[in-house]
Amino acid sequence: MKKFVFMSLAILLSSFSFAQKKEIKEAEKAIKNNNYASAKTAIQSAESMMSSMDDKSKAKFYYLKGQAYYANGSGSDQDVTEALSSFKMLKDTEAQSGKMVYTLEADQLLLSMSNGFLDKAQNALNSKNHAVSSLNFERAYRTSSTDTLYLYNAAVLATSSKEYDRALELYSELTNIKYTGISTSYIATNVETGEDEAFPDPKLRDLAVMAKSHEKSRNSKSKSKVGEIAKNLALIYIEKGETEKALEAIANAKKGSSGDDINLILSEANVRYKLGEIDTYKELISKALKLEPNNADLLFNLGVVASDSDDYDEAKKYYDMAIAADPNYVRAYMNSAALVLDREQSLIDEMNSLGTSSADNKKYEELQDERTELYQSAIPYLTTVLELDPVNISAAKTLMNIYSVLGESDKFKTMQAKVAELEGGK
């Protein structure tokens, strides 16, 4: 009786193996004929028999499954995700067995897939479809985990498309692999053109210098993205109403910082500002200014904070400093003009409150003169804005209104024509 049972199991296992091989062969044949629907059906039938497969059969199964679901680029989003997962299982299986049979073939296909994902990511980015671009950058990363920049791009674009939960997962993955975003560029100056050129590795750069086609060999390191990641994580948590986690994200990033990472300082400043902690924000911006004293953006931001606090003199000081640091800083000129014109309302209110006595009439004229002086002091800022940014319709409209009030008809007509031109070009 025992012998009979043993023989039955042997027959059963043999039949099972035959069915398994049959399904895999059918999937392989369907893939060769580009019949991916039939290939998926065969793969799904074979999947129930995986427990009896040896490592070699499993590797082949995962390889064919990846091809069937990818469908030469025509698979659905869900199918493409399944294909990438299958190729990963293939690599894990062969890495554990030590026998690389299908991994090299899969790598060739993954390279082609990666290029396709990157094309889709760039096209979606050009069309400002950040969600689709993010998905394809992530897929490009899944095909080659050494290209961590793709994962970072995916996380940033998921944030901008407000896919916050997915963005948190991607940022968490970046944190786990200790991604910094710091890269080294190998640069030399082209002797003939005088232009700086980057080389893929230092050896090629050094050969070009030895050949005397290039000179001034040097390395350049990019800035760390740790601060940017911390900032984005914090802002996502703020958006979700999880303030403690926002501050924790900043604190974790600071643990690996020397304390003079300006991007991390600015990231925390951004978060503190969002939380309404203005004093802490100002302290952090001041700290950043010690590292970069001529940073026009930092000076401008302090001007904005002072303006929001109705501290006119402090705001003007920082806007002037921003302009001194960068004479082409349009926003500083624009805000300087706004700062001046914001003082007009109090003059108008006082003028409207006056009576008709001689004293009141005299006071009215004094206030009118002050109002005219305000307009006159705003004009240079707005004129500079239009010189730097000729299509700035806000500056043009403000100037047009000022010239109208001042009774400067020729300048009013010129600016009126400018506004009409800009509005017609919309």
Per-residue model confidence (pLDDT) at position 270: 80
Are 39 and 67 within 8 A, CB to CB?
A: yes
pLDDT tens per residue across span 357-386: 888 788 888 888 888 888 899 999 999 999
In a domain, 309, yes or no: no
Helix, strand, or coil (residue 41)? helix
Are 306 and 281 within 8 A, CB to CB?
A: no
Q: Residue type for 260, please?
A: D
Tell which residue, 310, 328, 306, 325, has the closest CA to residue 389.
Answer: 328
Q: Rounded to the nearest 10 degrees, how much is the dihedral formed by the CA atoms of 115, 118, 124, 130?
A: 150
Per-residue model confidence (pLDDT) at position 13: 41
Domain stop point among 69, 101, 133 = 101
Which two tokens mark 40? 């998926």
Which two tokens mark 96? 């554990």
Per-residue model confidence (pLDDT) at position 5: 44
In a domain, 359, yes or no: yes
In a domain, 259, yes or no: no
Q: What domain count does the chain have? A: 3
Domain stop point among 40, 74, 101 = 101
Are 218 and 230 within 8 A, CB to CB?
A: no
In a domain, 178, yes or no: no
In a domain, 35, yes or no: yes
Q: Which residues lie below 8 Å from residue 113, measured CB to CB, with a gap of 6+?
A: 70, 73, 139, 143
Task: Give the side-chain half-sphere CA count within 13 A for 272.
Answer: 18
Domain stop point among 75, 101, 127 = 101
Are 191 and 171 within 8 A, CB to CB?
A: no
In a domain, 203, yes or no: yes
Tell which residue, 169, 184, 179, has the closest CA to residue 225.
Answer: 179
| CATH (domain of 415) | 1.25.40
In a domain, 251, yes or no: no
Per-residue model confidence (pLDDT) at position 7: 43
- Backbone φ/ψ region at 9: left (φ over 0), alpha (ψ -120 to 50), beta: alpha
Which residues form the domain of 79?
Answer: 20-101
Per-residue model confidence (pLDDT) at position 182: 85
Backbone angles phi, psi at 131, to 5 degrees: -65, -50
Backbone angles phi, psi at 223, to 5 degrees: -75, 155
DSSP summary character for residue 220: E
Per-residue model confidence (pLDDT) at position 417: 93
Residues of the chain predicted below pLDDT 50: 1-19
In a domain, 275, yes or no: no
Q: State the Cα–Cα distance between residues 62 and 69, nearest whole angstrom.
A: 10
Are 103 and 74 within 8 A, CB to CB?
A: no
Q: Residue type for 169, please?
A: E
Per-residue model confidence (pLDDT) at position 14: 43
Helix, strand, or coil (residue 215)? strand
